[in-house]
Amino acid sequence: MSDTAFIKYKDQSYELPVVEGNENEKAIDISKLRGESGLITIDPGFKNTGSTRSAITFLDGEKGILRYRGYSIEDLAEKSSFIEVSYLLIYGELPTADQLKIYKDEITKHTLVHEDIKKILEGFPSNAHPMGVLSSLVTSLTAFYPKSLDPNRSSEAVDKSIIRILAKMPTFAAWAFKNEAGHPVNYPDNKLDYCSNFLKMMFSLPTEDYEVDPVVANALDKLLILHADHEQNCSTSTVRIVGSSQASMYVSISAGINALWGPLHGGANQAVIEMLEAIRKDGGDTKKWMAKAKDKNDPFRLMGFGHRVYKNFDPRAKIIKKAADDVLEKLGVNDPILDIAKGLEEEALRDQYFVERKLYPNVDFYSGIIYRALGIPVDMFTVMFAIGRLPGWIAQWKEMRENNEPIGRPRQVYTGHTQRPYPEINKR
Ligand code: MLT
């Protein structure tokens, strides 16, 4: 017997179907509500509104659960690799050994970008934020691969577009950094794995070779896994709604990169380090700054604490915290910023004010710390998030297209002027 809900409005009652997900979550399907009642719903930020049915990622904010295609984030972070997780998210199953080898080889074959990309890069001043460069270079793929503009191509053609952007994203990211650093770009080294290749393109200099530290490469691989997808977050919803107009994968992902840039979303990890720097410059008194965070009259806001979906803890933060401790110890990093971070963390986990408000350190708090310890420059932090989230954006765009989802077109409640005549005095 199908489940239903009733909306009673004035002297009418409207029966609406209730749909149930595989994890027992329930949703009222309101698609017929406006036609039957003239009523729409309103939910600024869509925090209580499901935009789609998806089989990619499940998260439970109350229980701190995050699973990609049914596999727990804890298992994947410990046992898998970012490339294998990207395959899982995009194609729905873990690859066999042969499938993984073919997939990896294909990605390796496509790390090189067209030489003309350099001309686009040279058009950016060195003060260009790497996120703006990245979204531009991703959009430029439509020029070098114009057939990718057709979203209704064969699955083989879509697979080729997927391989190309997965392969070229680290190259674009490293080149965006080199543009800002004023250094010559490095070409991919196809003898290296995904993360090692990225690190070498980032940090190699004509004057000195860069030896990839496996501790750093492994930590980066784990960070990318933890960021790979997160259900219908802001940037993923952006990718879906842009793609719903039948815009191509590359431009939909470029839109997602720009949505991720915001300090309330992917830019939070950069905002965390900027906050820690400000506290250090002010003398490093964490108790003073935590008191400021509690003071309603103080404009200071704590970055990297709490989460809009996770009500008790962010499962990714637990994993990253351990990774951060391991990396800092293995690399022997002594950084006053990191001491300040530890001070804030201890205060937030001890002080009832933060505990009651679930203001615990989140994934952005620890990822900023690790990226800093890995030597990643602060305005590349959100770029790192984008590299990690790329497989999720691809998987969500692909699912939306394969399900032939309709174009996204929300309604509104109008609050402007009602009709009024054009004033006589203005008549020409
Ligand atoms: C994410 O991973 O996208 C962030 O935690 C934000 C979110 O899920 O809303």
From the alpha carbon of 59, which atom of ligand 1 is closest?
Answer: 8
- Identify the active-site residue in 221, 229, 314, 364: 364
Name the nearest CA neighbour of 195 among 335, 384, 40.
Answer: 384
- From 308, 310, 389, the mutation candidate for ligand 1 (largest count of ligand atoms within 8 A of CB) is 308
**Separation of alpha carbons 60 and 66, rounded Å:** 7
- Cα(174) to ligand 1 centroid in Å equals 24
pLDDT at residue 313, rounded to an integer:
84
- What is the mean predicted confidence (pLDDT) over 237-264? 97
pLDDT at residue 7, rounded to an integer:
96
Residue 408: pLDDT band with limits 50, 70, 90:
very high
Whether residue 298 is predicted with pLDDT greater than 90 in this model: the reply is yes
pLDDT at residue 104, rounded to an integer:
98
> Atom 1 in ligand 1: which residue has the minimum CA distance?
230
Of 48-52, 142-146, 179-183, 334-338, the least confident: 334-338
- Identify the active-site residue in 110, 227, 230, 307: 307
pLDDT at residue 46, rounded to an integer:
96
- Cα(230) to ligand 1 centroid in Å equals 6
> Atom 9 in ligand 1: which residue has the minimum CA distance?
233
Look at residue 22 and give its three-state secondary structure: coil
Beta bridge partners, 58, equal: 67
- Cα(180) to ligand 1 centroid in Å equals 27
- Cα(233) to ligand 1 centroid in Å equals 5
pLDDT at residue 2, rounded to an integer:
78
- From 51, 54, 307, 381, the mutation candidate for ligand 1 (largest count of ligand atoms within 8 A of CB) is 307
pLDDT at residue 366, rounded to an integer:
87
Mean pLDDT of the chain, nearest integer: 94
> Atom 8 in ligand 1: which residue has the minimum CA distance?
233
- Cα(122) to ligand 1 centroid in Å equals 33
From the alpha carbon of 308, which atom of ligand 1 is closest?
Answer: 9
**Separation of alpha carbons 336 and 283, rounded Å:** 11
Do residues 270 and 385 make contact, with C-beta atoms less than 8 angstroms apart? no
Whether residue 1 is predicted with pLDDT greater than 80 in this model: the reply is no
Structure tokens at 139: 């959009």
- What is the mean predicted confidence (pLDDT) over 161-174? 98
pLDDT at residue 338, rounded to an integer:
80
Do residues 355 and 294 make contact, with C-beta atoms less than 8 angstroms apart? no
- What is the mean predicted confidence (pLDDT) over 267-282? 91
pLDDT at residue 396, rounded to an integer:
98
**How many other CB atoms sit within 10 Å of the CB of residue 71?**
14
Whether residue 12 is predicted with pLDDT greater than 80 in this model: the reply is yes
pLDDT at residue 334, rounded to an integer:
83
From the alpha carbon of 307, which atom of ligand 1 is closest?
Answer: 5
Contacts of 89 (CB under 8 A, 6+ apart): 56, 57, 68, 69, 228, 229, 391, 392, 394, 395
From the alpha carbon of 231, which atom of ligand 1 is closest?
Answer: 8
**Separation of alpha carbons 367 and 339, rounded Å:** 15
Residues framing ligand 1 (Cβ under 6 A)? 230, 233, 265, 308-309
- From 66, 226, 234, 260, the mutation candidate for ligand 1 (largest count of ligand atoms within 8 A of CB) is 234
Structure tokens at 73: 């984030």
The angle that helices 155-181 and 97-109 make with each other, rounded to 10 degrees, is: 50
- What is the mean predicted confidence (pLDDT) over 180-202? 97
- Cα(273) to ligand 1 centroid in Å equals 18
pLDDT tens digits, 50-72 = 999 999 999 999 999 999 999 99
110 has catalytic annotation:
no
- Cα(384) to ligand 1 centroid in Å equals 14
pLDDT at residue 86, rounded to an integer:
99
pLDDT tens digits, 119-137 = 999 999 999 999 999 999 9
Residue 168: pLDDT band with limits 50, 70, 90:
very high
Whether residue 149 is predicted with pLDDT greater than 70 in this model: the reply is yes
Look at residue 5 and give its three-state secondary structure: strand
Beta bridge partners, 18, equal: 3, 28
pLDDT at residue 307, rounded to an integer:
87
CA dihedral 113, 154, 410, 4 (to 10 degrees): -130
43 has catalytic annotation:
no
pLDDT tens digits, 219-247 = 999 999 999 999 999 999 999 999 999 99
pLDDT at residue 26, rounded to an integer:
96
CA distances, 331 to each of 259, 324, 363 (Å): 33, 10, 21
**Separation of alpha carbons 290 and 343, rounded Å:** 10
| pLDDT over 70, % of the chain | 100
Helix (DSSP H) and strand (DSSP E) numbers for the chain: 18, 6
- What is the mean predicted confidence (pLDDT) over 20-26? 96
Domains and CATH numbers, the chain: 4-50 (2.20.28.60)
> Atom 6 in ligand 1: which residue has the minimum CA distance?
233
- From 231, 238, 309, 316, the mutation candidate for ligand 1 (largest count of ligand atoms within 8 A of CB) is 309
